[in-house]
Structure 1
Amino acid sequence: MQPQQLYCYTCDSDEHHRPLTENEKVWLRDETGRRKVDEFFMCTAPKCRNVRSGFNKRPFDPVRRVPLPD
């Protein structure tokens, strides 16, 4: 799946979002207890890394941000 322009709740603007990598999907599964996380995207704006789904701009309360890679 290609990066796409989606609304970012934390940036309060349309930003580029990319699908999660395999390591990020493992992290999100562990964080949320969900079995399927293929529908989530990460905002690529500097210092944001907010997670949203393709249909829901704010799926988590509080907001989940993908940690920086090691």
Structure 2
Amino acid sequence: MPRNTKFCYTCDSDEPHRPLTGPEKLWLKERTSLRNVGGFFMCTAPNCRNVRAGFNKRPFDPVIRIPLPD
């Protein structure tokens, strides 16, 4: 399995993920009130954008999806 591939809870399969960008981290901090969001990744499968932590497949209930950039 490639290094950037992780299990996506919403896709129910192994999908490519990437670390969050600066604006995405800021959005997630404001959405969750967490201080540190550096360990979160976003699924890059088409139409998914689900957020997960490194070892936690489902850190939020309900799931949080990063909005599309403006």
Same fold (TM over 0.5): yes
* Alignment size in residue pairs: 68
Query: In the alignment, what sits opposite 1:52?
Result: 52
- Relative to the length of structure 1, the TM-score reads 0.95
Q: CA deviation at 1:48?
A: 0.1
For residue 35 of structure 1, what is the amino acid of its counterpart? R
Q: Distance in 1 between matches of 2:26 and 2:55?
A: 21
Q: CA deviation at 1:14?
A: 0.1
Using the TM superposition, give the Cα deviation of residue 25 of structure 1 relative to its aligned residue in structure 2, in angstroms.
0.1
Instruction: Summarize deviations over 1:27-63 as a string: whole Å, max 9, x none.
Output: 0000000000000000000000000000100000000
- 5 Å matches for 1:22-41? 22-41=22-41
Stretch of structure 1 that moved more, 3-12 or 23-32? 3-12
Structure 2 residue runs without a partner (length 5+): none
Q: Hey, what's the Cα distance between the residues in 2 that align with 1:7 and 1:13?
A: 6
Report the aligned-residue RMSD: 0.8
Runs of 5+ unmatched residues, structure 1? none
Q: State the alpha-carbon separation in 2 of the partners of residues 55 and 29 from structure 1.
A: 19
1:13 maps onto 2:13 in alignment: yes
Superposition deviation, residue 18 in structure 1 = 0.1
